[in-house]
């Protein structure tokens, strides 16, 4: 997206954009209707075994069925906030008032998920299309009584409004498929949105920081104080950025992104397993020339835990993967085999071990130490090679400074390897200051296990007001039980982490598995 919209660097795209604005929406719709065949999912009379493969036009119908059924499937907006009265345990008296929100995918037209044309096929992925927010509100009366309510809402972007008005799919899946088909989908989608294109949405609508920003963001932006062109020769796909007291941290992995790649018969997203990764340390108000780059072992990590300064070193902690989950398996790959190998822990002693494939999406907490005085780097894993973790959070009062605790979602690697979609069966609490009892090279980890067939998403730390310790507070998360098809909000005391949740709050409908959560204090 950045390569398409950065006008000064891409004047050709500016001219194309001007021309596209003149195309009428009705003419566009007629063209899409005549040139594309949007396939519907097969009617499922039973839940197929996840290892079976059904392939049509290079795409796996079983994968799409899995993606859009069960708790990966979309839900409807409920319209008005619903009071929540079914609760096991109780919300702590000193729990803060506020709202817990989690985002996630929620396709508006789930039966139009594969598009076929003379250029080939494209298919929906879990990371594109319309999104939904799920919100649980915590309000307390003057008498100390809690009122808890739930509301969900689509993100009302320009594309959502256009698609809802037409009551059918108007946008073509564009992240996965045949290269030229992706190119055509991107161009047609640009035509559909070019007159009202916005880049970042808050709940109320498009947001551009009071006009100070008109470019795409990372998925985890920090406060905007200073704008710099880093003068990259090629667009990067950078998901997260770190900050310390004095520095900005830029994670430059060989994950490239751009329309021009398709002309070379490459995927629009492409991670080079043989490429070079580096980390940039930029003074808070520096420029491209002031960035100090450190070469590190190649990786494709998406999420940082925290960054801080330690003497002459800048320390970066994150959940490290060797490959990219986006866009997924190569479009001509045996997906069931690809999933099995990339998501399970790698067996380096296996005769057919392939370092470019086995375990490349098995994510583990990792630490980089960059010495600003000597220019050297030290790096390594922090936790067991048997447990995959991601979606890290900390007490946000410690962002940018040394912290003791971090929390992650623990991957059910076996379940994930069967579908290609992440499921998280536990929550982990990491203590960076205490060594593991059995392996002193690793840190201590405590687990909060969920029951069988229960999975969590949107884990967030909620700090206790006036707390004395870093872990004075609670972990809050959405949990879905696949056996009962019931979703709940769990509140877990961070100091009694492995014990039963303090509260389990039942929701009026299921909350599909999604991505990141946040708690907004009243």
Residues at the binding site for Fe cation are: 239, 303, 516
Q: Which two tokens stand for residue 92?
A: 């702590």
Instruction: Find the largest Cα–Cα distance for the chain.
Output: 67
How far apart CA 387 and CA 362 sit, in angstroms, is 8
Give me 199's structure tokens: 């880049």
Strand 120-123 vs strand 82-83: parallel, antiparallel, or unpaired?
A: unpaired
Is residue 321 within 8 Å of residue 300, measured between CB atoms? yes
Q: What residues contact 273, with CB distance under 8 A and at least 6 apart? A: 298, 322, 323, 356, 360
Contact 29, 261 (CB under 8 A): no
DSSP string, 186-214: HHHHHHHHGGG--S-EETTEE--TTTT--
Pairing status of strand 241-243 against strand 205-206: unpaired
CA terminus-to-terminus distance, the chain: 34
How far, in Å, CA of 113 to CA of 175, rounded? 12
Task: Map residue 342 onto helix, strand or coil.
Answer: helix
Give the separation between CA 386 and CA 392, rounded to whole angstroms. Answer: 18
Residues flagged as binding site: 239, 303, 516
Which residue, among 168, 67, 70, has the nearest Cα to 123 in the 3D structure?
67
Beta strands in 41-97, from DSSP E residues, in sequence order: 55-56, 59-60, 82-83, 87-89
Burial class (CB in 10 A: 0-12, 13-18, 19+), 289: exposed
What residues pair up with 76 in beta bridges, in sequence order?
none
φ/ψ (deg, to 5) at 308:
-160, 170
**Rounded to an integer, what distance in angstroms lies between the CA atom of residue 478 and that of residue 153?**
16
């Amino acid at each position: 997206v950045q390569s398409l919209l950065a006008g000064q660097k891409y004047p050709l795209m500016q001219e194309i954009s001007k021309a596209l604005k003149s195309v009428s929406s009705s003419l566009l719709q007629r063209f899409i209707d005549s040139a594309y065949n949007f396939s519907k999912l097969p009617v499922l009379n039973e839940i197929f075994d996840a290892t079976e493969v059904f392939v049509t036009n290079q795409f796996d119908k079983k994968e799409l069925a899995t993606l859009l059924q069960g708790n990966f499937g979309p839900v409807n907006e409920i319209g008005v906030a619903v009071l929540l009265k079914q609760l096991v345990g109780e919300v702590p008296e000193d729990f803060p008032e506020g709202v817990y929100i989690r985002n996630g995918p929620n396709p508006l037209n789930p039966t139009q998920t594969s598009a076929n044309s003379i250029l080939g096929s494209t298919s929906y992925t879990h990371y594109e299309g319309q999104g939904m927010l799920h919100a649980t509100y915590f309000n307390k009366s003057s008498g100390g009584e809690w009122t808890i309510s739930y509301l969900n809402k689509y993100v009302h972007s320009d594309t959502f409004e256009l698609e809802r008005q037409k009551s059918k799919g108007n946008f073509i899946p564009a992240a996965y498929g045949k290269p030229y088909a992706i190119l055509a989908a991107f161009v047609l989608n640009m035509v559909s949105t070019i007159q009202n294109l916005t880049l970042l949405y808050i709940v109320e609508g498009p947001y551009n920081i009071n006009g100070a920003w008109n470019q795409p963001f990372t998925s985890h932006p920090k406060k905007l104080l200073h704008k710099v062109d880093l003068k990259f020769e090629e667009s990067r796909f950078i998901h997260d950025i770190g900050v310390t007291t004095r520095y900005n941290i830029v994670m430059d992995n060989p994950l490239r992104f751009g329309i021009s790649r398709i002309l070379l018969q490459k995927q629009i997203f492409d991670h080079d397993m043989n490429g070079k990764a580096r980390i940039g340390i930029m003074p808070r108000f520096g420029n491209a020339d002031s960035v100090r780059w450190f070469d590190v072992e190649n990786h494709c990590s998406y999420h940082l835990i925290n960054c801080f300064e330690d003497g002459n070193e800048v320390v970066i902690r994150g959940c490290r993967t060797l490959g990219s989950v986006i866009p997924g398996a190569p479009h001509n790959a045996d997906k069931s085999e690809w999933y099995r190998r990339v998501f399970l822990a790698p067996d380096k002693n296996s005769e057919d071990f392939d370092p470019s494939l086995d375990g490349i999406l098995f994510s583990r907490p990792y630490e980089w130490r960059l010495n600003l005085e000597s220019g050297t780097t030290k790096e390594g894993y922090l936790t067991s090679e048997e447990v995959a973790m991601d979606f890290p959070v900390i007490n946000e009062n410690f962002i940018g400074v040394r912290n003791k605790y971090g929390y992650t979602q623990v991957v059910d690697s076996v379940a994930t390897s069967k579908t290609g979609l992440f499921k998280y069966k536990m929550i982990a609490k990491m203590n960076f200051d205490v060594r593991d009892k059995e392996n002193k090279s690793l840190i201590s980890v405590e687990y909060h296990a969920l029951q069988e067939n229960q999975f969590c998403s949107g884990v967030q730390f909620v700090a206790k007001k006036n707390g004395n310790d870093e872990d004075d507070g609670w972990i809050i998360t959405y949990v879905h039980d696949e056996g009962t098809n019931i979703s709940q909000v769990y509140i877990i005391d961070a100091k009694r982490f492995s014990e039963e949740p303090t509260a389990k709050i039942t929701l009026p409908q299921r909350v599909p598995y999604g991505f990141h959560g946040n708690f907004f204090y009243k």
